[in-house]
A and B are shown apart, each in its own frame.
Chain A
Amino acid sequence: MRFEKKAGGASEVSGVGGVSKFTDEAALGVEVDEAIRDFRLSVHAWSEAAYSRPRTAPAAAVRRHLWRLASAWALGCVLVIGGVSTGGVYEHHQREVRIAAARAAEQQRQAAQERARQEEEDLLAKVDSDVSREVPSAMEPLAQLMAGDETQ
């Protein structure tokens, strides 16, 4: 496979079997041709060797695969543990909130009961004070007499 070099400097591909045009660049042209041919031979040999190598699960590939598997498992475990613990913390927090709410409700209920009882007592006291009357002052001596008889 050869290529030609144009006078302007840009090379043009002439296809397989072409000949270098200009003698001043002929040496370089031949050298490039040879270098490319050798490059092709090298790549072919490399490829053949790689293609026909025994496929015995290369250690590096296996190790890489195992690493990937292990890291995937580790990541999975961390995510699961994280998820579970986050769920546990959230659940605990929710329970605390529920207990605090129940306590507050109980306290409110007790306070309301106390207030109602107090109001009832006040009402009864007010009724007692309104209904009861003082002994008339005209009966007072008699009352004193009755008290004297009882002492005798």
Chain B
Amino acid sequence: MQPVRASTRVMAAGTALEAMTMATAEKIAAEEFSAVVTKHRPHIFRFLLSSTRDVDLAETLTQECFLKAHRNWGSFRGESSAMTWLMRIAINLQKDHWRNRRMQFWRQAQTHSVDMDEASEWLPSGERSVEQKLMARERVGQVGKAVEGLSERQRTVFLLRYVEEMELKEIALATGLNEGTVKAHLSRALARVRAELGGKR
């Protein structure tokens, strides 16, 4: 039997330690990612639902978003919050989905979008009178209609600001626009909502 050198033993121990460290790091990363999914999945789904108005499509895009995020989790440096990073992926997926013209026919055949003003049906009643509830529903329907008529970018910015309640800086990071442009889009979107509500007064 040949004697094992001390250096060989040290190297073997080093390799084993490295493997253990990598396994531990992977486990920690998986746990972190799992926590991120649990925390942010409803928000991403909500944004995609309000944006596409199609429950099935929103679910599919949410799945794709987290699949993509999982693949790139290692490259996430934490320069922005996980939510902003995930929202950026979701926005890009949504853009890709609508801009991909190859499957346009199938998409048109399969679209299950509902009118945005149908969101008013979900308005929590709270402590309001019947008349107040009806008026609130009507107003929500008007906002929905105005949102539906916005351009894709204006709608995204509006939904991120007023439905997801994100800060302008976060919206800028998520959309890849600068803050000034975000403000301009938001201003136009609000003007449209205001006009819709004002016109019906």
| Chain A interface (Cβ < 8 Å from any Cβ of B) | 1, 3, 5, 10-13, 15-16, 28, 31-32, 34-36, 38-51, 58, 60-61, 64
Which of A11, A16, A39, A43 has the most C-beta atoms of chain B within 10 angstroms of its own C-beta? A39
**Cβ-defined contact, A41 with B110, below 8 A:** no
Residues of B contacting A: mostly: helix
Kindly identify, within residues 154 to 188 of chain B, every residue whose CB is under 8 Å from any CB belonging to chain A: 161-163, 165, 167-168, 183, 186-187
- B109-120 vs A, CB cutoff 8 Å, 1 = contact: the mask equals 010100000011
B191 CB contacts on chain A under 8 angstroms: 10-11
CB distance from A72 to the nearest CB of B (A): 12
A43 CB contacts on chain B under 8 angstroms: 46, 49-50, 119, 122, 163
Would you mind naming 16 contact pairs between A and B with Cβ atoms under 8 Å apart?
A1-B162, A10-B191, A11-B187, A12-B187, A34-B139, A35-B143, A38-B140, A41-B124, A42-B124, A43-B49, A46-B49, A46-B122, A47-B49, A47-B50, A58-B56, A60-B112
The stretch among B13-21, B89-97, B193-201 that forms the contact with chain A is B193-201
A45 CB contacts on chain B under 8 angstroms: 122-124
Known A-B contacts A10-B191, A35-B197; the reply to A40 vs B162 at CB < 8 A is yes
| B190 close to A (CB within 8 Å) | yes
**Cβ-defined contact, A11 with B56, below 8 A:** no
Known A-B contacts A28-B198, A47-B50; the reply to A38 vs B162 at CB < 8 A is no
Kindly state the separation between the CA atoms of A28 and B124 in the bound complex, as whole angstroms: 22
